[in-house]
Chains A and B, each alone.
Chain A
Amino acid sequence: MSTSNGVNISKGIDWTMVLLYAILVSIGILCIFMVEYRSGTSWVTSFLTGKTNYSKQLLFAGICGLIAIFILLSDSKLYTAFANLLYAFGILLMLLTFVIGKNINGSRSWIPLAGGFNLQPAELCKIFAALALAKFISRQDIDFSKPKSQIIAAVIALSPAALSILQNETGLALVYASFFIVMFREGLPPWILIVGFSFGALVVATLVVEPNLLAIILTAIAGLTIYVMRRMIKRNKNLLVFILLIWAVCVGVQRFAVPYIFNNVFQCYQSQRIYSMVGKDYDCSKNRSAKNERAADKAVKKPDDYNVRQSKIAIGSGGIVGRGFLKGTQTRGKYVPEQHTDFIFTSLGEAFGFIGCFVFLGIYLLMLFRIITIAERQRSTFSRVYAYSVASIMFFHITVNVCMTIGLFPIIGIPLPLISYGGSSLLTFTILIFILIRLDADRQMVLR
């Protein structure tokens, strides 16, 4: 083992993954180029001067390539050994932001580095959390079917999320929810997912359906359930109490919890974004933070769904085959805000249409399936859990980002993996993927 390790690092490396990675990064740079391109200006000179985002992204890609090689050269045992330590380091960094954090776009989640670069610890923490979770579940004394270990795993996964929320980075916090997919794979009882899904459905229903009508519907469902299960209830009175309890919780959520959260917890613009997703208008005068601002005599700007509208127009105008490379008017006219970062998908949708999107999403799906295949062929639990973490994080990013651009999800700042402009994000996913490739290359070893 030790002999081959030094001589041939390429042994056991999954080249399909590397290829998919390279393709996606290239598509990303191309997309950023489409966004930045201005007819009339010579792109060669602007590329060489390095002032443009696509040349910066290319630079980031180069750095990421070096780091990828570095990771491939490293020893996979390193990651199991340092998993917990790295996790602790990550949490520390996140706590550090509260002290020396820099405020960018309203969130105090950045640590300024030398040379004008900023680091977002929450991004790196995804890697550390994945490693720590893998480490915890792969421990021999852990039986993941026990609720206690499930709760500990959840705490490991969710503590960075809690810190992220405190940093006002709701989007990044949501990413940690993706660890539930991993835990589900490792034996989390399925009712948790079902309850989570039902809760989501209830919230959406609350937004869409008239409150009183929804209460009546819920009551009717409860009544029907009691009627259907009347025999079982006769045998076991607790069941009735249980059903009534669920009913009470549902109505409570619908009548009080959701309006309370929308009016008192969320900012006006957040509520508006969620409402506009279901095609409704939120009345900001009910919002507490808006009221506070008004009381403080600040002009409350009525948020609108400009971003989503323009984003949908861009994608929708692509049609079947798209408007062609560099021909999209939405992109050229800079109608979509933040198009090189969170809304990068729109440039692709506009230029290459449905077929382009289909192929692009196909590449992503291929990558996800490849990761799952890799996960399932691991002999060590650590590698498997880590692989699932990578798949889940990527899946969550892709889904939320794409859904946000096509109006299926409220706008939260989550980048498209490997495509969106930004060094932090690209670096995070590079590290995530290449650690996986390294672990997979050593799949014959049993890691703890």
Chain B
Amino acid sequence: MYNQSRSRIVQIIFVLVFMVILGQLLHLQIFSGKYRLQAENNAVYRKIVYPDRGIIYDRKHKAILENTIMYDLIITPSEIKGTDTTSLCQILNIDTAEFRKRVRDIIFKNSYVKPSVFEPLLSPELLARLNENMYKFPGFSLNERPVRTYPFNVAADVLGYTGEVDTGFLRRHREEGYEMGDYAGMTGMERSYEKALMGVRGVKRYIRDNRSRIQGPYENGAYDTSAMAGKNLYTSIDVELQQLGEKLMNNKVGSIVAIDPRTGGVLCMVSAPTYNPNYLTGNQRRKHFSELFTDPRLPLLNRTVGTQYSPGSTFKTVVGIVGLTEGVINEREMISCSGAFYGCGNGKPKCLDRGTFDFTNAIAVSDNTYFATVYKRIIDQQRYGSADSSLKVFNNYAYTFGLGHKLGIDLPSEKKGNIPISSYYAKIFGSRWVSCNIISNSIGQGEVQTTLAQLANVMAIIANKGWYYTPHLVDSIEGGDEFHLLDSFRVKHYTASHITEKTFDEVQNGMQAVMEFGTGAAAKVPGVVVCGKTGTVQNALNGVKQKDHAFFGAFAPRDNPRIAIAVMCENAGFGASSAAPIASLMIEKYLKDSIAGKERQDKAEAVAKMNLIPERMRRAMDSISNLNRRRDSLKLIKDAQKEMSDTVEVEDRAEQEQRTPTDSAAKPARQQQAPVKKQPQPAGKKAVLQSPATLPPDEQQRKNSRKTKP
């Protein structure tokens, strides 16, 4: 047998080719991992099951933030043949061009066969009208979608809102399983309790075929996870108090914080002006949001924690406590004021009531000279060596009152206030600065700044005589505090230990006197011993002096304090006229569950009607509404113009149509010419187009019939 060796060669060729095949298989199956991934992307469809977000309750277990169902109008473009487009457009109040544009966009974005949202979050009226007519619209369906709703329309700034996550959010929360299109809490408690509220999302995996049709669960659901509803939050908020607060703060710029001093639980938190939180759900969300965003009164700003002010005379309570504790003064010592404080030689600050006052009366009439003297003595104490060290001592007291640092309240974007430190003054006045440089701090002006929540907390501390829990909104989380969000609210904080109870008694005496015969007489609550302190804060904006801010801090009842409250109205003038009555009404409402007597109710109505919006904001609002009006009228004009031009066009068309019957034969002939046009004869085409105008009708007819023959 010759050619035996060729048999070997043939065998070698076979083996070599098989080796090449195996090599490629190695490459495909073992060394490149992308194919497995691509197969999964092809075939596994992950459907996210969104859990219900947690509900937020007030202290009486009324839901103040819960979920409701709204409906989206869903379109499946491949199935809309036969839909009554005209009536759908009518119901949705869009024109057919808009309809076609939307359908085109949807097909472009999300394919021809997949369902997409055509109109999100239908209003109830729209839903009702659509529901009646759905049979006319094959390819459209109504799909439910859970939406947040605020049954009492209150506490917008506190509760916050959810919003669609953006790329920045996704980057910050990379490991937490958010995806594009998800909603997350953006402000308020929605944000700070996002972890508890969001629940656990479920994922269902399905197999889909080459046309994206679902074939059944993937691996029989072995990798599916079920959704777990978000946890409900039980807050300390009293929704009726909150409602009253928002009513009283109507047409004012300012805020109210009320705290239960025994627990640190926030009873109400009003930031005015506020807005209806339901504005930011539903399909008008975007429009409302931009309205709120451009409002010069900044309704989206939570003024209770997000703005810091000089606390004014309310700060005198702290100065007094430090003075008594440091022993630079005792409660019986009398200091007289002849119209101003001359301890620093410049007659500043002035005092309003001339006379001689002991500690109690000094607080009662808010005597500037008294507290300037006390503050000067604190800073000038010999035993600490220098003003620097003395200020440090003073500041350490202030810090234990929860000032100068963030309180740690359970709301985002809290400001920390400001307790100025010596290095700050050293920069301004040089290292040898003295107490007189910083004397305005004594009466809560100058560099001292607090948030209103901090001020309410100071009231709670005085009420408790030396301790507080960090103010917080949430008392408990249903099913346990898995994420340790509430731990910091269980820690009892004490003021400096050597502040005696007697010192607090003296301050409380003074604050009681404020209500009985002092600056806060207007804020008495019938039958309740209230301790309070007014504050009137000079302020300037961009160097222009503005009307004073009105402050009022109080707690009640004195023996068994159940509410500590701080109220402030921006640019409202003297503290006793606006802030104090608001506080008094709030205290009464909380302690007695209602406002009793016609006189008090009338007072509430009167306060609610009082318009204290600062002049500059009013002007800005006016100019904005002017602008909007002008824009609206401009739009009207444009619409009118468009309408006019539309009708003009119609007339033109009518003219043309009138003309055509005269040479009726030309029209069908023209249609038949279409294929002829396709041939590349630009000159001939031109001639054909010109012909109807240039030739007499019968001539045209001939010409056209000649053209169409071939």
**Chain A residues in the interface with B (C-beta under 8 A):** 38-40, 181, 184-187, 310, 312-320, 327, 329-330, 332-335, 349-350, 353-354, 357-358, 361, 364-365, 368-369, 372, 375-376, 388, 391, 395, 399, 402-403, 406-408
Which 9 A-B pairs have CB atoms at the shortest separation, nearest pair first? A316-B35, A329-B43, A317-B39, A316-B28, A333-B209, A354-B29, A317-B36, A333-B43, A313-B38
Within 8 A of A (CB), among B11-25: 11, 13-15, 17-18, 20-22, 24-25
- Cross-interface CB contact of B207 among A314, A333, A407, A408, cutoff 8 Å: A333
B32, B35, B219 — which one has the most chain A CB atoms within 10 A of its CB? B35
Contact A358 B15 (CB under 8 A): no
Least Cβ–Cβ distance between A140 and chain B, in angstroms: 16
- Cross-interface CB contact of B28 among A312, A330, A361, cutoff 8 Å: A312
Identify 29 residue pairs between A and B in the complex whose beta-carbon atoms are under 8 Å apart, listed by A's number. A39-B216, A181-B10, A184-B10, A185-B7, A186-B3, A187-B2, A310-B42, A312-B28, A313-B42, A315-B35, A316-B28, A316-B34, A316-B38, A317-B35, A317-B36, A319-B36, A320-B29, A327-B219, A329-B40, A329-B44, A332-B215, A333-B209, A354-B25, A354-B29, A358-B22, A369-B11, A372-B10, A375-B7, A391-B10
Q: Is B180 an interface residue (CB 8 A)?
A: no
Give the chain B neighbours of A403 by CB distance below 8 A: 21, 24
Give the chain B neighbours of A318 by CB distance below 8 A: 29
Give the chain A neighbours of B28 by CB distance below 8 A: 312, 315-316, 406
Least Cβ–Cβ distance between B218 and chain A, in angstroms: 8
CA distance A312 to B37 in the complex (A): 12
Contact A408 B7 (CB under 8 A): no
Q: A317-B39, A335-B42, A376-B4 are in contact. Are A349 and B10 (CB under 8 A)?
A: no
Contact A408 B210 (CB under 8 A): no
Contact A330 B39 (CB under 8 A): yes
Extra A-B contacts (12), CB below 8 Å, given A187-B3, A334-B210: A187-B6, A330-B39, A332-B43, A333-B215, A335-B42, A335-B209, A365-B14, A368-B14, A375-B7, A376-B1, A391-B10, A403-B24
Q: A312-B35, A354-B29, A406-B28 are in contact. Are A185 and B21 (CB under 8 A)?
A: no
Contact A408 B21 (CB under 8 A): yes
CA distance A357 to B21 in the complex (A): 10
Q: A187-B3, A319-B36, A333-B42 are in contact. Are A40 and B29 (CB under 8 A)?
A: no
Give the chain A neighbours of B35 by CB distance below 8 A: 312-313, 315-317
CA distance A175 to B30 in the complex (A): 31
Chain A residues touching B, majority SS: helix
Q: Is B208 an interface residue (CB 8 A)?
A: yes
Q: Closest A-chain residue to B44, C-beta based?
A: A329
Contact A184 B210 (CB under 8 A): no
A317, A354, A361 — which one has the most chain B CB atoms within 10 A of its CB? A317
Contact A399 B21 (CB under 8 A): yes
Contact A354 B43 (CB under 8 A): no
Give the chain A neighbours of B4 by CB distance below 8 A: 376
Give the chain A neighbours of B44 by CB distance below 8 A: 329
Contact B18 A361 (CB under 8 A): yes
Contact B24 A406 (CB under 8 A): yes
Give the chain A neighbours of B14 by CB distance below 8 A: 365, 368-369, 395
Q: Is B644 an interface residue (CB 8 A)?
A: no
Q: Is B540 an interface residue (CB 8 A)?
A: no
Q: Closest A-chain residue to B1, C-beta based?
A: A376
Within 8 A of A (CB), among B45-93: none
Q: Is B26 an interface residue (CB 8 A)?
A: yes
B4, B14, B215, B216 — which one has the most chain A CB atoms within 10 A of its CB? B14
CA distance A402 to B14 in the complex (A): 14
Contact A184 B7 (CB under 8 A): no
- Cross-interface CB contact of B21 among A329, A368, A402, cutoff 8 Å: A402
Give the chain B neighbours of A312 by CB distance below 8 A: 28, 35
- Cross-interface CB contact of A335 among B1, B3, B17, B210, cutoff 8 Å: B210
Total contacts A-B at CB 8 Å:
123
User: How many positions in chain B have a CB within 8 Å of any CB in the partner chain?
Assistant: 41
Least Cβ–Cβ distance between A51 and chain B, in angstroms: 19
Contact B21 A316 (CB under 8 A): no
Contact B216 A406 (CB under 8 A): no
- Cross-interface CB contact of A372 among B11, B17, B207, cutoff 8 Å: B11
Least Cβ–Cβ distance between B187 and chain A, in angstroms: 43
Least Cβ–Cβ distance between B99 and chain A, in angstroms: 27
CA distance A310 to B207 in the complex (A): 16
- Cross-interface CB contact of B42 among A185, A330, A375, cutoff 8 Å: A330
CA distance A214 to B20 in the complex (A): 25
Contact A316 B29 (CB under 8 A): yes
Least Cβ–Cβ distance between B18 and chain A, in angstroms: 6
CA distance A332 to B209 in the complex (A): 7
CA distance A364 to B22 in the complex (A): 13
Give the chain A neighbours of B208 by CB distance below 8 A: 333
Least Cβ–Cβ distance between B699 and chain A, in angstroms: 32
Q: Closest B-chain residue to A335, C-beta based?
A: B210
Give the chain A neighbours of B26 by CB distance below 8 A: 354
Q: Closest B-chain residue to A337, C-beta based?
A: B210
Least Cβ–Cβ distance between B290 and chain A, in angstroms: 44
Give the chain A neighbours of B219 by CB distance below 8 A: 327
Least Cβ–Cβ distance between A404 and chain B, in angstroms: 11
CA distance A369 to B10 in the complex (A): 10
- Cross-interface CB contact of A376 among B2, B7, B9, cutoff 8 Å: B7
Least Cβ–Cβ distance between A305 and chain B, in angstroms: 14
Contact A408 B20 (CB under 8 A): yes
Q: A186-B3, A365-B18, A376-B4 are in contact. Are A316 and B32 (CB under 8 A)?
A: yes
Q: Closest B-chain residue to A317, C-beta based?
A: B39
CA distance A343 to B520 in the complex (A): 91
Give the chain A neighbours of B21 by CB distance below 8 A: 361, 399, 402-403, 406, 408
Least Cβ–Cβ distance between B325 and chain A, in angstroms: 75
A187, A310, A332, A333 — which one has the most chain B CB atoms within 10 A of its CB? A333
CA distance A76 to B178 in the complex (A): 74
Least Cβ–Cβ distance between B547 and chain A, in angstroms: 71
Q: A330-B43, A335-B42 are in contact. Are A354 and B30 (CB under 8 A)?
A: yes
Contact B7 A313 (CB under 8 A): no
CA distance A315 to B29 in the complex (A): 7
CA distance A332 to B219 in the complex (A): 12
- Cross-interface CB contact of A184 among B6, B18, B22, cutoff 8 Å: B6
Contact A329 B39 (CB under 8 A): yes
CA distance A395 to B18 in the complex (A): 10
Q: Closest A-chain residue to B42, C-beta based?
A: A335
Give the chain B neighbours of A327 by CB distance below 8 A: 219
Give the chain B neighbours of A185 by CB distance below 8 A: 3, 6-7, 10
CA distance A357 to B219 in the complex (A): 24
Give the chain A neighbours of B218 by CB distance below 8 A: 329
What per-residue 1/0 map shows which CB atoms of B137-153 lie under 8 Å from chain A?
00000000000000000
Least Cβ–Cβ distance between B47 and chain A, in angstroms: 16
Least Cβ–Cβ distance between A385 and chain B, in angstroms: 11
Q: A318-B29, A319-B36 are in contact. Are A365 and B42 (CB under 8 A)?
A: no
CA distance A372 to B36 in the complex (A): 38
Give the chain B neighbours of A332 by CB distance below 8 A: 43, 207, 209, 215
CA distance A315 to B32 in the complex (A): 11
CA distance A38 to B207 in the complex (A): 12
Give the chain B neighbours of A375 by CB distance below 8 A: 7
CA distance A399 to B17 in the complex (A): 7
Least Cβ–Cβ distance between B13 and chain A, in angstroms: 7
CA distance A181 to B3 in the complex (A): 13
Contact A314 B39 (CB under 8 A): yes
Within 8 A of A (CB), among B184-221: 207-210, 215-216, 218-219
Give the chain A neighbours of B207 by CB distance below 8 A: 329, 332-333
Q: A185-B6, A333-B210, A354-B25 are in contact. Are A365 and B30 (CB under 8 A)?
A: no
CA distance A313 to B28 in the complex (A): 8
Contact B15 A357 (CB under 8 A): no
Q: Closest A-chain residue to B212, C-beta based?
A: A333
